[in-house]
Structure 1
């Protein structure tokens, strides 16, 4: 079985590491937090075998790609610009864009702002959300004891200090905790204790985000997979990835001019019914109303028992859905 190859390309004024496999129409795979190109390892092979050129960059701030220091270098316009730069570097007229987690948000806007370059979109985990009337962080939940994890990420250096102490433990906790198995275990513990949880995505103000106990590996993640992720983050750190969150309100300001612009390309949406994002307040409404903003939405595919790490937890189902969708598109 062939393996993806990696190379460095120049895009949007920075260097990006890309993993790629196969030949044919271009499919651009955009990862989320805290991952890297490696989160698409199962898709690269499957898409190549199906006759596509699959390309997964380490997004800006991750892995072997450049990591600008300034927080304001991680806006949605930088991210979409990076992806246009990847297409240009590959001399590709257009591509189908696939995104998960933060990569999903970026892919939504890439398809929305540049349908001339992104002819279709397959989005995992994060439904399309119209622009809110107020800055997003202003309505994120918080109490005297806890705050929403995206608020915890706002102060530079705080989350970095917790996460970089032991990257392997950090990634194990996040990958298990957000998985279908982790969500099931957390719900069972809460039910057994009789104590209500503090809410989806809430972080204790005194104890931080990570659990104090060892967590098991989820069934879909090998020790070698975790070692790969840990080595990447041990080298690159968490500042770049966390800077995405520090631009949430800035992105809201920047996107004001595009309010009401729809995603007009053919689109597929896939998520797990145990995904914490699907449990966020308002997510059910976004799912139900998505076709208003995404008129060519072909399907909403929900995977029973699947958590947040969609393409890693259910590679066969995701691969089959992606290939079917890609083959349905006009050439």
Structure 2
């Protein structure tokens, strides 16, 4: 489906809502048509868009599910504040609940997320789990609140000692001043880097070694791009970020600069979060930064009813294997949610 076709089909369903802290969000809202009246909430990550959910939105729209898909803070038609302190997980979780409550749903929705959307979904679970019927995490699992102040150097040292790689080394660049301009000036290289044909190799050599992402971009390096990124998809990614990268990069900056520390500490002093609702996890076996080995332990501690579906996919499973992912999510919804 091209961008034009997507807009023709869904353009009339866009809405806006100003949240309780005064930020305007744009979101897609398609009312449920099936008798079960179940709505699915889709939370994208970095640097994604509502359009990237097209395979999932089309599949579940055809089955009569309601759909709510926001442009996350910093993206698309949503406000793009440049202050990283506005991008805390607690505050954005409240934003999402404000959007849901503005729709006055008759039934609790199912929340589904990927990448940084998954980190935000974890905080939604911590704070507002009773407002949702079920939760689905793609790749990135549940991240419990951390009582210790965030220290990227300490995190990378720990990852190096336990996995042999500084898995989140690229966060150092993403949270740095001027990273937005470097990416914008080298966008083709950045898209190659985000979606390489050889994800384990390229991400291991570049994203997981401090300083290498800057070298890759400023030297205009290119690598073969994954086949699931068509020319149309590439153009859509460029258009989605036409407003610039400074705001989206604040999802990294908020964490690296410690803006989540106080909220994490407060939540960490409470009993660990557990949920009785069904939880789905898309375990992506070829994802170097969000491996099942990292994602599963916290999900098993969180969920009494956990369904794990394994995929021979990298980080972007919803684009790489959309039919397989949709089928597994469909089965889970029908067996665990619609029967509840």
Distance 1:109 1:207, change over 3 A: closer
How many pairs are equivalent?
Answer: 309
**Structure 2 residue aligned with 1:155:** 176
Q: Any idea what SS the aligned residue of 1:246 has?
A: helix
Work out the CA distance in 1 between the residues paired with 2:123 and 2:298.
17
**Structure 1 residue aligned with 2:300:** 291
Work out the CA distance in 2 between the residues paired with 1:199 and 1:230.
22
Work out the CA distance in 1 between the residues paired with 2:202 and 2:144.
31
TM-score, reference length from structure 1: 0.84
Q: CA deviation at 1:293?
A: 2.4
Q: CA deviation at 1:185?
A: 5.5
Q: Any idea what SS the aligned residue of 2:241 has?
A: helix
1:266 aligns with 2:278: yes
Superposed CA offset, 1:264-294 (max 9, x none): 1210000311112235xxx625524531222
**Structure 1 residue aligned with 2:104:** 91
Which structure 2 residue ranges, 5 or more long, are not aligned? 161-165
| Match 1:49 to one of 54, 57, 62 | 62
My pick for the range that moved more, 205-214 or 61-70, is 205-214
| Match 2:198 to one of 182, 201, 222 | 182
- Contact 1:266/1:296 (<8 A) preserved: yes
TM-score, reference length from structure 2: 0.82
Q: CA deviation at 1:212?
A: 3.2
Q: CA deviation at 1:14?
A: 2.0
| Match 2:254 to one of 243, 247, 254 | 247
Superposed CA offset, 1:178-220 (max 9, x none): xxx3225549xxxxxxxxx658622326944537333333221
Distance 1:207 1:237, change over 3 A: closer
Kindly report the root-mean-square deviation, in angstroms, between the aligned alpha carbons of the 2 structures.
2.6
Which structure 1 residue ranges, 5 or more long, are not aligned? 188-196
Superposed CA offset, 1:103-161 (max 9, x none): 01111221231122122101001122333453332423279xx981112222232x112
Q: Any idea what SS the aligned residue of 1:114 has?
A: helix
Work out the CA distance in 2 between the residues paired with 1:289 and 1:9.
34
Q: CA deviation at 1:71?
A: 1.4
